[in-house]
Amino acid sequence: MKLSQAELELKRAELSPQLLAYIVKLPFWEHYLKLAFASRFDTLNAPFSLRADEVYEQREELSSAEFQRLMNQIRLEREQAEAVEIERLTKAALRSDDQHVCEAPAG
C-alpha cells in the first residue's frame, strides 16, 4: 500500500461515524467543549433554564408527579440539545484537525 493510499484510509477512518460516536461520549471532551465554547452553551441552555424556573414557580399548583415529569422533560430536551451541539462542534474539530487548524478555548 502506498503512503498516499494509507493516508486517505486514515483520514476516512478519522471521519467515520464510529470515531465521532466515540469522541462525543468522552467526558473530558464534553468538558473541554463546554469550557471552550461556554457562551454557546450558555445561550443554548438559557431557554431550558427559563422553562425550569417557570415550572418551579408553579410547583405549588402541580402534583409532585407532574412537577417531576415536567422537570425531567426539560432536562432531557436540554441534554438532547447539548448532544447535538457537542456532535456539531466535534465534527467541526475533526474537519479543522484535517486542515491542521486548532481553535483555542475562549476565556
- pLDDT tens, position by position, 30-53: 999 999 999 999 999 999 999 999
Q: What is the number of structural domains in the chain?
A: 1
Split at pLDDT 50, 70, 90, the class of 14 is low
Which residue has better confidence, 15 or 47? Answer: 47
> How far is CA 40 from each of CA 1, 36, 43, 82, 88, rounded to the nearest angstrom?
43, 9, 5, 10, 12
Per-residue pLDDT at 13: 67
| Spatial distance between the Cα atoms of 67 and 51, rounded to a whole number of angstroms | 12
Is 15 within the bounds of a domain?
no
Is 38 within the bounds of a domain?
no
- pLDDT tens, position by position, 56-94: 999 999 999 999 999 999 999 999 999 999 999 999 998
Is 104 within the bounds of a domain?
no
Is 80 within the bounds of a domain?
yes
Which residue has better confidence, 93 or 54? Answer: 54
Q: pTM value?
A: 0.76
Give me the domain span that covers residue 85: 45-96
- Say whether pLDDT at 20 is over 80: yes
